[in-house]
Amino acid sequence: MFKFASLLALASLIPAFVQAQQPLYAQCGGTDWTGATTCVSGATCQEVNEYYFQCLPGTASSTPATTTTPATTQPGSTTTSGTGSPTTTTTPSTDNPYTGYNVWLTPYYADEVQTAAGQISDATLKAKALKVADIPTFTWFDVVAKVPTLGTYLADAQSKQQSSGQKQLVQIVVYDLPDRDCAALASNGEFSIANDGLNKYKDYIDQIVAQVKQYPDVRVVAVIEPDSLANLVTNLNVSKCSGAQTAYKSGVVYALQQLNSVGVYMYIDAGHAGWLGWSANLSPAAELFAQIYSDAGKPSFVRGLATNVANYNALSASSPDPITQGNSNYDELHYIDALAPMLSSAGFPAHFIVDQGRSGVQDIRDQWGDWCNVKGAGFGTRPTTNTGSSLIDAIVWVKPGGECDGTSNSSATRYDAHCGQSDALQPAPEAGTWFQAYFEALVSNASPSL
């Protein structure tokens, strides 16, 4: 709205069909959106999801971050509830799955980074930003409509493998359980348990399997369902979580079985030190992971667990952050060292990968549970297999830095109060969309420096 009466008077002279244009990366549409729906020159309003349309660089033919296009059945996929028992066709290596492989760079994220760097006027910061495009991250398959692109990515990785002779490894996140994100709002998914969501999820898994099956020479590493099982350890007092418990377990078991059949190396998400690392949560967590693993038939390609996904904890902190008071497992290494023996005793493979993509700066949160676009964060340790721990296969970047955690717009359908807290950078767009100011902060605060 205009602030001054004189401007209001001027606005009244403009024909009704002339609307203000939204700047680059601003919202321009979506459910309940009442603002402008056109963008400044050089940008086009593109659908990200039903709640959020965003002004993105280029023309309408550009690929949106997320779409709501109905899923189509891929060749070889199953459109039923997926009750068949898969048969493992390959034998996993007993070594670290990252050893001897080149981690393939996701072109979508590289394009996001290069576009974002183009918006930075400071030459030094811009040069640092461009380096991020060469750092491998995971690709999140958070809606069915994205699954066909997995085949495109695997084909590219296979081509690079054949031309260079360097074995390629593609990193993905499987993230589409029905009633997803049961204890929060920002990343609510597309499937509802009440609307046959579990069968739709199984079809989603079948479509991923069909894509992977076409490229058996390319290694795939997957993080399985961030936050899902951790919610079953600590948040069953939340009605949506208690109601989702059976579907979560069944869905994850199915995912493990089917992905195992095509040789996908899997790390089940295990929250982080500030969630499952508390002493009271360690044993229940280990028991749950072991139960899921056993229920799935102990799939041979389940390698272990992923921790700190999309979070900010240090792998090894020089001193405890004040917010961790009361928890002796104040960083990811302490958490892993405490959890691993319990996992082994329960018969679960105790290997880990740890997300350090946004963990470059510590002591920046008001509370340990604050997770949304935390101010002062910086890119962290680069992906590596030199982890300093025999339990940790790799330091990775699971969360693509610059993609938003959640909107700060309190009137938005998917608004979560964590995104409006004092330690969250604002204003912030919808979850999963590009957050230019946050990306620039991650670059500026990176430790080690880019």
Q: Indicate the residue type of 79.
A: T
Q: Is residue 311 marked as binding? A: yes
Name the nearest CA neighbour of 51 among 175, 187, 254.
Answer: 187
Is 397 marked as a binding-site residue? no
**403: which DSSP letter?**
B
Report the candidate in 177, 374, 389, 369 with the shortest Cα–Cα distance to residue 276: 369
CB neighbourhood size of 347 (10 A)? 11
Buried/exposed code over 270-288 (b: 16+ C-beta within 10 A; e: otherwise)? bbbbbbbbbeebbeebbeb
The two most distant CA atoms of the chain are separated, in Å, by 75
Can you tell me the distance from the alpha carbon of 158 to that of 92, in angstroms, rounded to the nearest whole number?
Answer: 19
122 is catalytic: no
Please tell me whether 142 is known to bind a ligand.
Answer: yes
- The distance in angstroms from the start CA to the end CA of the chain is 40
- Can you list the pairs that 346-350 forms with residues at least 24 positions away whose Cβ atoms lie under 8 Å? 346/286, 346/287, 346/289, 346/290, 347/290, 347/293, 347/294, 347/298, 348/286, 348/289, 348/290, 348/293, 348/304, 349/293, 349/302, 349/303, 349/304, 350/304, 350/305, 350/391
Which among 179, 206, 227, 370 is annotated as catalytic? 227
Q: How far apart are CA 383 and CA 395, in angstroms?
A: 5
Other residues' Cβ atoms within 10 Å of the Cβ of residue 313: 29
CA–CA gap between residue 199 and residue 334 (Å, rounded):
38
Tell how strand 139-141 and strand 168-174 pair up.
parallel
The closest of 427, 426, 432, 423 to 401, measured between CA atoms, is 432
416 has catalytic annotation: no
C-beta of residue 292 within 8 angstroms of C-beta of residue 268:
yes
Active site residue 405: yes
The CA distance from 252 to 196, in Å, is 16
Catalytic residue among 156, 179, 331, 405: 405
State the catalytic residue, choosing from 181, 203, 206, 393.
181
- Tokens representing residue 137 in the block: 């991250």
Nearest in space to 268 (alpha carbons), one of 311, 313, 222: 222
> CB of 380 within 8 A of CB of 431?
no
Residue 125: how many CB atoms within 10 A of its CB? Answer: 15
Q: Is 275 annotated as a binding residue?
A: yes
- The annotation places the binding site at 140, 142, 272, 275, 311, 371, 399, 403
Question: Which residues are part of the catalytic machinery?
Answer: 181, 227, 405
- The annotation places the binding site for substrate at 140, 142, 272, 275, 311, 371, 399, 403
